[in-house]
A and B are shown apart, each in its own frame.
Chain A
Amino acid sequence: MEPTTASGFLDGAVEDRTSELEDFDQVVRSYWPRLFRFILASVHDSGTAETLAQECFWNAYRSRARFRGDASVHTWLVRIATNIIRDHMRSRRLRFWRQTQRTAVDSGAIADWLPDPSLSQEQRALIQEQVQAVWQATTTLSDRQRTVFLLRFVEEMDIADIATATGLTSNAVHVHLFRAVRAIRKRVGSAR
């Protein structure tokens, strides 16, 4: 359930600048965890994710007048975030050499959590290995495939919202999602 406190502000209900800022602070507080999680899943680095999340909210604040309310605030923020992530990825590709990021999230940390404590040690090890492999495999996907994959499976957004957030058609979202799953399974290997 998405918070509804932001919609009134974004519709222009609040006129005073100070109260706008206060309300937008509420928007930041409400949506920061989800945006940060999505960006972290995209860039695999907590420091970068924090920077990009701040940039996302700053861009949202500056362009809040253009928000028409066609989509939810979360979808609107995700759309801004996807653009920022895409620009970040492009600029990173242009670098000839990359500095190892101290805040990079290692795959082992992602696989720490397992929903079923009744699994055997072997089963846990297998699942953890596959979770790590899927986490690593997302980095090999194209920008669109990764975005669609993460929005569907990590953010659990429905296809229509993903289409709105990415600017793709629903059919294109389906295609990218299928290709992402196939590419990851090809890289990770099926359980069969």
Chain B
Amino acid sequence: MTRHLTEDQICRAIAGQSTLDERQHANGCAECRAEIAHAHYVITSLRHGIAMRAEREGVQPAPSLRAQTNGKEARAWAFAAVSMAVVAVALIWQARLAPPAGREPPAEPPRALASGHAGDARVAVDAVDEFYPLAYSTVPVTNGRIIRIEVPRSAPAAFGLDPIDFVRTRRNAVLADIVVGEDGLARAVRFVRPLRDDVQKD
């Protein structure tokens, strides 16, 4: 009785890893030899099938790397140009808004009129109103600006002030001026009082 190669031995033979004894057996055993040859035939067919398919699918000339490079470089340059433009606009914008270098924030409150937020009322900052220090007031600042914003009506109360004394906006808020340093931290706040008597009060 002839003992044929086991399945693992056949697998080793297909993979080209047979031992000398296994190769000798395969040479002398028609059945095992045919089994291995059949497997190789299937693999060869697969290889040619893939090659034929790849040749058919990939027949178009390979895209030029130059085209890819130019495309990527063009996108990179476009991105850089847009970034530079954004930075330039930001710098111009900042230069227009910022006070001249070395100048402290104005000690006297501006007489600028605030309109819109306070409804139809035209209001001005009370000249005698004072700034109240905030948490970052001790952080040194070399340059800053005053920004007018709306704050909740409870904000003046936090400083011992009565909200009724200040300008009330349509959203039932209070106008306030915030001193903001160049680092973006708020240093002080003051609340906007009505200049004239025709401003709506509670």
Contacts and interface: CB of A to CB of B under 8 A. Distances in A.
Interface in A88-136: 103, 105, 109-116, 127-128, 130-131, 134-135
Contacts of A135: 46, 49-50
A58 B51 contact: no
B53 A58 contact: no
Interface in A37-94: 37, 40-41, 46, 49-50, 53-54, 57-58, 61
* Interface of chain B, main secondary structure: helix
B38 interface: yes
A111 B45 contact: yes
B30 to A, nearest CB: 13
Interface in B30-80: 31, 34-35, 38-39, 41-55, 57-58, 61-66, 68-69
A178 B53 contact: no
Given A130-B42, A174-B15, A178-B15, A109 B53 contact: yes
A154 B167 CA distance: 82
A134 B46 contact: yes
B54 to A, nearest CB: 4
Given A40-B57, A40-B58, A110-B49, A54 B8 contact: no
B61 A29 contact: yes
A68 to B, nearest CB: 21
A28 interface: yes
Nearest to B59: A33
Contacts of A153: 43, 46-47
B11 interface: yes
Contact of B69 (A21, A49, A105, A116): A21
Contacts of A191: 34-35, 38-39
Given A127-B42, A190-B35, A154 B47 contact: yes
A177 interface: yes
Given A33-B55, A109-B53, A131 B11 contact: no
A178 B51 contact: no
Given A40-B57, A105-B53, A174-B15, A192 B8 contact: no
Interface of A: 21-22, 24-25, 28-29, 32-33, 36-37, 40-41, 46, 49-50, 53-54, 57-58, 61, 103, 105, 109-116, 127-128, 130-131, 134-135, 152-154, 156, 174, 177-178, 181-182, 185, 190-192
15 contacts: A25-B64, A32-B58, A33-B54, A36-B58, A37-B55, A40-B57, A46-B53, A58-B65, A103-B57, A112-B52, A127-B41, A154-B46, A156-B47, A182-B7, A182-B11
Given A32-B58, A178-B17, 11 more contacts: A40-B53, A40-B54, A49-B57, A57-B62, A113-B52, A134-B46, A153-B43, A153-B46, A177-B17, A181-B11, A191-B34
